Amino acid sequence: MARERDQTIRDPAEGGMPLGVRDYKLMGLIALLLVTVVLLHDGMSYWSAVVLLLGLVSLQTSWSIGPPLLMMVLTILMVFRNRITGNWASYRQRIDPLTDVALAVGMLAYVAAQYRLMTLVRRGRPFDGRRHPRATEGVRSPALVTGREVVYLLVSVGTFALAAFIGWRWLWNELWYPLVRVPRDLWFALVLLWIFAVALLVASALLGYLRWASASGMESLLYLQDQAWAATRGEQRRLQRWLVWARLRKERP
């Protein structure tokens, strides 16, 4: 299995690391360094080294749980920032917009690079337990990675981070009408969760409509038959019971 994996992620003609794997590893490394510099600027001292080491181990080993774990650790550090930096509980650190944008861009770039790297060295979809454990389906060929793909990823990372920053600043300055007396940060978190839930519902409805709109005639017919059976199964059960009773009575001597 190790031999098959090594042949999958390396190009024998080049004798080294494929360009796609190298590009995404370099992108993840630069993103981790950016996050580390931001944490050092905020006074996190050796805690920034913990984030850097965890990200490097995850990036090198293609650890699937690495990005969620790193985001969890970073969230904990941001929540307890005052205590880590030695300030009192009521101290409110001045918000630096450039620092927030740099942290968001770094984490988003690292997560995107990590998961795209996993599609090249491991698999691009979850493992199917019904298959043989040595099955290598789902691994993407590094030869398919082009420079345009990496550029598009960098542009999308910057765009989404900028859009998130603009939305957060608007939320911080404008949307402050709590229905109950809760802390300002907690109110913003609740509003963001509500917006995220509404966005998921809209996306689910839109994707569901597009899925049924692109279905074939046989798929649509099968769906309509299932709906008809679900709506009239009681009546059909009674009709079939009477038909069977009539057939048995007719066959009776």
Cα separation of 26 and 33, whole Å? 11
Q: What is the pLDDT of residue 8?
A: 41
Q: What is the pLDDT of residue 200?
A: 92
Dihedral-angle region of residue 206 (phi above 0 means left; psi in -120 to 50 means alpha; beta otherwise): alpha
**pLDDT tens-digit readout, 151-209:** 888 898 888 888 888 877 777 665 555 556 766 667 777 777 888 899 899 999 998 88
Q: In the beta sheet, which residues pair with residue 16?
A: 11
Region of poorest pLDDT, from 8-22, 62-76, 145-159, 182-196: 8-22
Cα separation of 42 and 81, whole Å? 8
pTM of the model: 0.63
- pLDDT beyond 90 at 79: no
List of E strands, 90-134:
none
- Which comes out higher in pLDDT, residue 11 or 110? 110
- Which comes out higher in pLDDT, residue 149 or 128? 149
**pLDDT tens-digit readout, 40-50:** 887 777 888 88
Instruction: Read off the pLDDT of each residue in 242-248 and give the average, rounded to a whole number.
Output: 89
Amino acid residing at 217: G
Residues 6+ apart with CB under 8 A from 110: 28, 31, 32, 35, 55, 59, 67, 70
Confidence of residue 248 (pLDDT cuts 50, 70, 90): confident
Q: Which two tokens stand for residue 214?
A: 């692109």
- pLDDT beyond 60 at 6: no
Instruction: Read off the pLDDT of each residue in 119-130 and give the average, rounded to a whole number.
Output: 69
Q: In the beta sheet, which residues pair with residue 11?
A: 16
Q: What is the pLDDT of residue 187?
A: 73
Region of poorest pLDDT, from 21-25, 167-171, 227-231, 242-246: 167-171
* 234-245 burial: b if 16+ Cβ within 10 Å, else e: eeeeeeeeeeee
Confidence of residue 131 (pLDDT cuts 50, 70, 90): low
Rg of the chain in Å (alpha carbons):
27
